[in-house]
Amino acid sequence: MQPIADRIRVAVLFGGRSGEHDVSLVSARGVMAALDPDRFIVIPFPIGADGHWQHQRITPEPGANPGIDVVFPVLHGTFGEDGTMQGLLELADLPYVGAGVLASALCMDKAATKRMCAASGVPVVESVTGRSIAAPATLASQAEAAFGYPCFVKPANLGSSVGISKARDRAELLAAIDTAFGFDTSIIIERAVVGQELECAVLGNEEIAASVVGEIVPGKEFYDYEDKYLDGKAQTLIPARISDDDHATVRQLAVKTARALGVEGMARVDFFRETATGAIYLNEVNTIPGFTPISMYSKMWEASGLPYRDLLTKLVTLAIERHARRRSLRFSR
């Protein structure tokens, strides 16, 4: 084991004011237990569900956090994965794991993700977006005219399938819109795609690598929060049950998506493969995906030859390298 003075001090941020608070706690336990003790000193930074930093906090001033060498945010959802925490860490001039401010904000907003990726040639599912000032009946009529039923309604800025509902008729659609607006002021309604749910992990800064492709087999009608974290009935398959050509297409689209959104560090890029047409569509991008040893992001990299502990080391290394590159830039005339 290296002397304490030679080890990298990693501040792990977890919890936070988000609908995914509990998921973050599980992910952080996995990260903190697996970071190589020969190379790293782990410093836990728990944040309460009310947003209160429980034991210590990061000061948004360069040089004011001398006990931290690099930050590993394991904060899923709002106030952690949406660019806000990344902005704090930029102000503090601290290296941090994962995407930067703009990429985090873009990926968190499903509507913005779709617009940016569609402009870059990544296929996306037809959708209608709306803000809370819009009349629910108007949004429902727009969705009915665009693609009809069934359809899904999602908060634009949330993950872990929180607040997502499937609608088969006008009554269910209006109820789904009401539910989604309970979690966000912006929502997205999109055509339901019948087929496979595929995932691909990306890793890197300037050079981005893609993992083998995995598949989620929901334990119920669709892969919601309960199916992901509570019921335990969903299955994960690595590699996915797709052709070699489709496998190559998904990996290429995952890298193309990451580049279109400016993602660095890591992301899990999710897709649909429509059974009737064979078409592959982008679903969403998670810049801080679930991070236990059995989460899809880490499992896909393990299947690609990069074990969990080595993956964490790589992510910390990428964070330090990106920070060094940014510090070489000029911020004054």
**Residue positions annotated with a catalytic role:** 20, 160, 229, 268, 270, 284, 286, 290
- CA angle at 136 for the pair 134 and 139, rounded to the nearest 5°: 75
Burial-class residue 245 by CB neighbours within 10 Å (0-12, 13-18, 19+).
exposed
Task: Look at the block and give the residue holding tokens 């860490």.
Answer: 89
What is the rounded distance in angstroms from the CA atom of residue 296 to the CA atom of residue 197? 12
What is the rounded distance in angstroms from the CA atom of residue 169 to the CA atom of residue 166? 10
